[in-house]
Amino acid sequence: MEQIVTYLSAEQIAERVKALAAEIQRDYEGKRPVLVIVLKGSFVFAADLIRAIDLPSLRVDFLAVRSYEGTESSGVVQIVNDLSRPIEEEDVILVEDIVDTGLTINYLLDLLQTRKPKTLKVCALLHKPARSRVAVPIDYLGFTIEDRFVIGYGLDFGEKYRGLPFLGVLQRA
């Protein structure tokens, strides 16, 4: 039997997300940034984040990728659904749920740079430095976490648990 143990509570996440939103709002005052939300895992984080950023001309776009089978990175990133618009000369913020090995975000940064955005930054809710395989610049970071596989708040394990309102870990009971 496995049970879900809270790793970061909904309250802890909400407080940190508000702080990240305030930083983004301050840095992009008077600009029209495009938040590129990396699906599927980032949709819950992004939904809370954009509602806490008071920038009327903020825009969103979505990029769906597949990089994982179970709990291990395959190292191969597949674009399942591309952006709906060009990002040339745009101020882009890539929104990720978690930077684990860094392979996904590294691949996406290289890909988006070829489309010539004016600026390109990274906002990630979680970073697991213990498993890092490539150095990734994270401009806005929610939490640095230990080497645990976390679920909930949009993150899944085999497509399960995305709807949990908090971040948890699975533990044998």
For the bound state, the minimum distance from the C-beta of residue 25 to ligand IMP, rounded and expressed in Å, comes to 24
Indicate the residue among 58 and 109 with the shorter CB distance to ligand IMP. Answer: 109
**CB 147, CB 126: distance < 8 Å:** no
| Catalytic status, residue 100 | yes
**CB 166, CB 13: distance < 8 Å:** yes
The label of the residue with tokens 């979505």 reads 62
Residue 100 binds ligand IMP, judged by CB under 6 A: yes
For the bound state, the minimum distance from the C-beta of residue 54 to ligand IMP, rounded and expressed in Å, comes to 27
Indicate the residue among 94 and 150 with the shorter CB distance to ligand IMP. Answer: 150
Judged by CB under 6 A, the chain residues 114 through 153 that form the site for ligand IMP are 149-151
E strands, the chain, in order = 2-8, 34-39, 59-69, 72-81, 91-99, 119-127, 140-144, 150-151, 167-172
Of 27, 82, 97, 100, the active-site residue reads 100
Indicate the residue among 55 and 60 with the shorter CB distance to ligand IMP. Answer: 60
The interaxial angle of helices 43-52 and 10-27, nearest 10 deg, is 60
**Residues in the site for ligand IMP, rule: CB under 6 A?**
41, 67-68, 73, 96-105, 149-151, 155
